[in-house]
Structure 1
Amino acid sequence: MVTRPRVVLIGPPGSGKTTAGEALAERLGIAFLDSDQLVEQSAGRTISEIFVEDGEPVFRRMEADAVRRALETHDGVLALGGGAPMQKPVAEALHGHVVVFLDVTITDAARRVGFDGTRPLLAVNPRATWTRLMQERRPTYERLATHRVDTGGRDVKVVVDEVAALIESESR
């Protein structure tokens, strides 16, 4: 029997991948896994430290390896870092999975993450950087997603209800 995530969550920073993913996993009685946490655990360092000490290309290789392993071994809810789907190996590995794009506006994203220094790609001019990243990433998120859920201004329970209904429709 092949092990695969029940659902993979993708989207920009502040879209609610971790918050909604944890709540969804709890509701479904399955495990939650975050690809960023996998990278940090395997490296023994934070993502910010990896970016500063080794650079983004090293982080992206570590991230792609972590995502591919998780797609083959995790059977719960899997949340990917915002940039993970931009990598060709990750995008190809997502084929055939239930992928939900959690969409959000910059206003809601800023309120959720505060654009502090813990996110290396958003360290300088975070609002402009987030907007540019989203413009670059949106077409990929939309292409890879089997479903899109808007999380902006919505309670986590409402988002989880919608994602759970989409997952249920996939298993019929």
Structure 2
Amino acid sequence: MGATGDSAPPRTHAALRRPVVLVGMMGSGKTAVGQALAERLQVPFRDSDHAIEDAARMSVAEIFARDGEAFFRDRESEVIARLLAEGPGVVSTGGGAFLSEATRETVAATAVSVWLRAAPEVLWPRVKGKAGRPLLARPDARAALEAMTRERAPVYGTAAVVVDSDGEVTVEGMVDRVIDALAGAEALA
């Protein structure tokens, strides 16, 4: 087996007992890992940011600019609850979604939360200069990312499962790590 765990055959499981909700900082891989995880488990993939954008017919950045972060977070909680009600699947959330107590309560009651934990030095190359990141649209973007990572860590740490990304592992390697963690949390049949 290689250093990233990619040379072993893909691990699969018979069934997902509840939805899996991926949480963590922007750039932690929630969408890429979520899509690959859903494919591996043969369940639907749902992205809360895309669902919000589809409903609003505007981008997350446009919603932030027009209506503010508080409005966006309220809609985000509603959308996540709706996505979870659709049954087993993998849900990717925006970086700030899990900060909402209402969202955390909904997730805890209906799903298994997985924190994709990554350090700022892993996140920064993935997010720097990318459009659509309203919280990083500022001259001190790296410092803001570092501060957000520190501030949010205690809340993300309440997730049922924590999976570390060291920046070296591939998406498939992260999927293996998540599946192993879910099996340990008895989220898979």
Aligned equivalent of 1:26: 39
Aligned length: 168
| Aligned counterpart in structure 1 of residue 120 of structure 2, from 106, 110, 131 | 106
* Partner Cα distance (1:28, 1:149) in 2: 17
Q: 1:50 to 1:148 in 2, by over 3 A?
A: same
Please tell me the residue identity of whatever aligns with 1:31.
P
Q: d(CA) in 1 for partners of 2:18 and 2:53? A: 20
Matched, 1:142 2:153: no
Structure 1, unmatched stretches of 5+, are: none
User: Which residues in structure 2 correspond to 1:13-162 (within 5 Å)?
Assistant: 13-96=26-109, 97-124=111-138, 125-143=140-158, 145-153=159-167, 154-162=169-177
Name the structure with the higher helix share: 1
SS at 2:75's partner residue?
Answer: helix
Tell me how far 1:168 sits from its aligned partner.
Answer: 2.8
TM-score, normalised on structure 2? 0.83
What is the Cα deviation at residue 115 of structure 1? 4.1
Q: CA RMSD in A?
A: 1.5
Structure 2 stretches lacking a partner, 5+ long: 1-16
Looking at structure 2, the residues matched to 22 and 39 of structure 1 have their Cα atoms a distance apart, in angstroms, of 18
What are the Cα deviations for residues 67-118 of structure 1, in whole angstroms up to 9, with x where unaligned? 1111212421011111011111101112142111001111221222224332
Identity %: 39
Amino acid at match of 1:161: D
State the AA in 2 paired with 1:137.
R
CA distance in 1, matches of 2:90, 2:137: 28
C-alpha contact (below 8 Å) 1:100/1:148 kept by paired residues:
yes
Between the aligned partners of 1:61 and 1:8, the Cα distance in structure 2 is 18
Confirm or deny: 8 A CA contact 1:10 1:80 kept in the other structure. Answer: yes
Conserved in 1, the CA contact under 8 Å of 2:116 and 2:163? yes
- Mapped partners of 1:114, 1:19: distance in 2: 17
Q: Distance in 1 between matches of 2:176 and 2:129?
A: 27
